[in-house]
Structure 1
Amino acid sequence: MKKLILLCLAISLVSCGASKTVRVSKKVIKGDWVLNSVTYNQAGNYNVTLLNDASKACFEGSTWQFVPNNNTGVYSINDASCATGERHFVFTIQEVDAETGLYDFLLKPTDEKHKSETNQGFRLKLATLSDDTMQWQQTVSVAGSTLTLNMNFSKQ
């Protein structure tokens, strides 16, 4: 009887683990990335602050490091005309639909000890992820209409 209970418990723990898509995604995302460009799905100039931190211009050229075994990372703003330096975050890759393989990327800014002062995070669509490119999409409201931001990364 004890063995049966332990077997059921082990099966339930394994079934609650991350899906294969998420596990593979974590392996691919591991390492160093550069945010090459931020584009919009509509023409125009927009004054958008990304991640409640800095402008599009400040984020372009920023470097990112992802450590999936503890879901942490750090990005650095490198543009001298911006507030430069490292920013820490925790992240989660969350599968939205097992059949389509669509998933979201949840990012929460933190301090160096991975504690959040505001407990505020950001949900981004992980639209593309390959061994050398990644794209996040975020939908925001601008002047009563929706705008999709595309954040385009390349792996270093």
Structure 2
Amino acid sequence: MKKTLFTLLLLTAFISCKSTSSTVSTNLDNKTERMLKGDWTLTSVNYPNSAYFKVNSFNIEDSKCFVNSNWSFVSNNNKGEMSLNNVSSDCKNFSSPITWYINKEGNFVLKIINDYKAKEVNNGFVLAVRNVTESSFNLIDTINVAGQTKNITYTFQRN
């Protein structure tokens, strides 16, 4: 039992979200961007073994705190906003402007701006965008858990 607990604690220490690399394509997928225009709610976050470890999403908060967060995407200027309005005392409230785009490789590139100008923010996140419909879509993040690649799926529903 102690060995299992130690292994779980060790796994938690190795979990992190990845940041963008410096060479992300900026050739835009305008059609998909237009489909995401509007207001969305992140309705679920799923990943393997989620009962055993926590994932800190976007270097902000535990991934489960993002459930019911609100996201707004403006496609003509690639700006928007995201906000966590959690009723749980374990989660903090957070709100920030964002910049985003979808490139032709199917990557959703996101910068969380906070109190800065977009050009002053040097890091961000690259997630795969999948299953885009008029009413829903998924963002897939890839993380490293103790040397193994795992996917986190963020599911969005249109408001």
Does the alignment reach a TM-score above 0.5? Answer: yes
Q: Relative contact order: is structure 1 or structure 2 higher (C-alpha 8 Å, sep ≥ 6)?
A: 2
Select the residue among 104, 107, 129 that pairs with 2:107: 104
Aligned 8 A contact 1:108 1:116 in 2: no
In the alignment, structure 2 segments of 5+ residues that lack a partner are: 1-25
How much does 1:114 deviate? 4.0
Separation in 2, partners of 1:123, 1:24:
19
Select the residue among 103, 106, 129 that pairs with 2:132: 129
Aligned 8 A contact 1:90 1:114 in 2: no
Which is greater in Rg? 1
Aligned 8 A contact 1:92 1:107 in 2: yes
Structure with greater strand percent: 1
Aligned to 1:94: 103
Select the residue among 34, 44, 49 that pairs with 1:43: 49
In the alignment, structure 1 segments of 5+ residues that lack a partner are: 1-16, 97-102
Q: CA RMSD in A?
A: 1.9
Aligned length: 131
SS at match of 2:103: strand
Select the residue among 72, 92, 109 that pairs with 2:79: 72
Distance 1:112 1:68, change over 3 A: farther
Separation in 2, partners of 1:18, 1:91:
13
Aligned to 1:119: 122
Amino-acid identity (%): 30
Distance 1:61 1:18, change over 3 A: same
Cα shift readout 1:101-146 (whole Å, capped 9, x = no counterpart): xx11000111356436541110000012110001000110011111
Equivalences for residues 24-35 of structure 1 within 5 A:
24-35=31-42
SS at match of 1:25: helix
Aligned to 2:65: 58
Q: Does 1:139 align with 2:146?
A: no
- Comparing 81-90 with 119-128, greater Cα deviation is found at 81-90
